[in-house]
């Protein structure tokens, strides 16, 4: 007969009690949710989360239509809506479809991708500072894309050859993400704090490499790459729109299928494992998807800073949830980039890159957020 260690038994009992309490809490939370089903596929959502999503979509739509209407050639909102359906005046249809619509679409799609990527990184690491532009993923995408640009992968204008740039950004982001993950892997898991520290170090090295690469090329190539590195939607065309549409069509469906383990990971590995989640495999898949989303957005618009960091927390605050809501974070990112690009085109004497506007808004937000988390004892 084998004796049971009292300490081990007590620890096991405590862990089981925590898992049971969490399961009961999840059940209680689920009672107030709205449930939707279509055949074997179904999901549930809290009314406030649904309302937050609708609000953010409305803000995105408003910024989107305003971007099509406002500029050097002003259009009425009625003419914009008619032009979108092919029934507007000929001059309005030219301005909308050829000049403004591609840029506005890229803004919305890039913001959505960055919001999703930020939510994934913050949920997986359980740290609100774990955005892809903080942990080196955006830096890796930037380095890969700049190498492609300097190698002749893109020219000027919306019709320039563009294929090598997103491929270079994707490769750079995936390599960086894999290295950060492996270096932060300790004791069978990845610490959120360690992941951020390794990512910050990797980001510093990648920034240094990018500057070194720019210093070794001719002035024209360096100018094109520097303009891209500010995070700009200037001269973005339907090529970039299709890159974003195809990329999101590939990446979003598997991400949505993991929404339940995504939520459980935010409760901690012990609880998630007890509720049947294969934490290691799920975390790896989520990080790969988040890395690809950040790489896709960076390749199409350059490093648009602070969106992936701020959007999940904005969505969380509006939705009133303890966890980071996934799709709502994407909607918040779309609203941020669409609104920032509108401001970049209309609120300054000359058009400025959208990355400068998001930086002007995001830097004070980061300082406020750090001071707030330190006051409540969550600043690390």
Digit-by-digit pLDDT tens for the chain (380 residues) are: 445 455 444 444 454 555 545 445 444 544 556 555 554 445 566 777 788 889 999 999 999 999 998 888 888 888 888 888 877 788 888 888 888 899 999 999 999 999 999 999 998 888 887 888 888 888 898 888 888 877 765 554 444 445 677 788 888 888 998 888 888 877 666 666 777 888 889 999 998 988 888 887 777 777 777 777 888 888 888 888 998 999 999 999 999 898 888 888 877 777 877 777 787 788 888 888 998 899 889 888 888 988 999 899 888 888 888 788 889 999 999 999 999 999 998 888 888 888 889 988 877 877 776 677 656 555 44
Which positions ≥6 away from 344 have C-beta within 8 Å? 233, 351, 352, 353, 354, 356, 357
**How far is residue 251's CA from residue 246's CA, in Å, rounded to a whole number?**
9
Buried b (16+ CB within 10 A) or exposed e, 361-378: bbeeebeebeeeeeeeee
Strands 189-190 and 185-186: antiparallel
Placement of tokens 């979108």 in the chain: 84
**How far is residue 272's CA from residue 178's CA, in Å, rounded to a whole number?**
23
Domain chopping of the chain, boundaries: 46-375
pTM of the model as a whole: 0.83
Q: What's the chain's length in residues?
A: 380
286: nearest Cα among 89, 117, 163: 117
**Is 46-375 assigned to CATH 1.10.540.10?**
no
């Amino acid at each position: 007969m084998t004796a049971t260690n009292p300490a081990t038994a007590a620890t096991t009992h405590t862990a089981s009690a925590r898992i049971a309490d969490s399961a009961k809490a999840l059940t209680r939370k689920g009672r107030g949710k709205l449930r939707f089903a279509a055949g074997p596929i179904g999901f549930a959502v809290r009314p406030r989360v649904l309302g937050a999503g609708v609000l953010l979509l409305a803000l995105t739509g408003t910024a989107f239509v305003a971007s099509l209407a406002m500029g050097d050639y002003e259009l009425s909102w009625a003419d914009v809506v008619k032009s979108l359906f092919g029934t507007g005046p000929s001059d309005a249809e030219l301005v909308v479809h050829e000049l403004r619509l591609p840029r506005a679409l890229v803004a919305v799609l890039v913001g959505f991708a960055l919001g999703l990527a930020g939510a994934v990184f913050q949920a997986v690491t359980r740290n609100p500072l774990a955005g892809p532009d903080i942990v080196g993923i955006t830096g890796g995408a930037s380095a890969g894309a700049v190498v492609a640009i300097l190698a002749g992968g893109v020219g000027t204008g919306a019709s320039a050859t563009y294929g090598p740039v997103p491929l270079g950004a994707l490769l750079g982001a995936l390599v960086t993400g894999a290295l950060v993950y492996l270096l932060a892997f300790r004791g069978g898991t990845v610490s959120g704090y360690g992941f951020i520290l390794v990512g910050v170090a990797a980001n510093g090295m990648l920034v240094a490499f990018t500057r070194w690469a720019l210093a070794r090329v001719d002035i024209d190539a360096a100018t094109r790459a520097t303009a891209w590195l500010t995070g700009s939607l200037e001269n973005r065309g339907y090529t970039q729109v299709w890159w974003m549409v195809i990329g999101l069509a590939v990446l979003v469906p598997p991400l949505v299928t993991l929404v339940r383990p995504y939520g459980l990971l935010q409760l901690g590995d012990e609880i998630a494992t007890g509720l049947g989640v294969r934490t290691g495999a799920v975390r790896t898949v989520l990080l790969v998807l988040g890395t690809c989303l950040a790489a896709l957005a960076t390749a199409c618009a350059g490093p648009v800073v602070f969106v992936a960091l701020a959007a999940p927390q904005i969505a969380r605050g509006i939705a009133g949830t303890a966890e980071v809501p996934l799709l709502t974070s994407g909607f918040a990112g779309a609203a941020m980039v669409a609104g920032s690009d509108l401001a970049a085109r209309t609120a300054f004497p000359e058009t400025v890159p959208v990355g400068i506007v998001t930086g002007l808004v995001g830097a004070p937000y980061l300082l406020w957020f750090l001071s707030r988390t330190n006051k409540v004892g969550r600043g690390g």
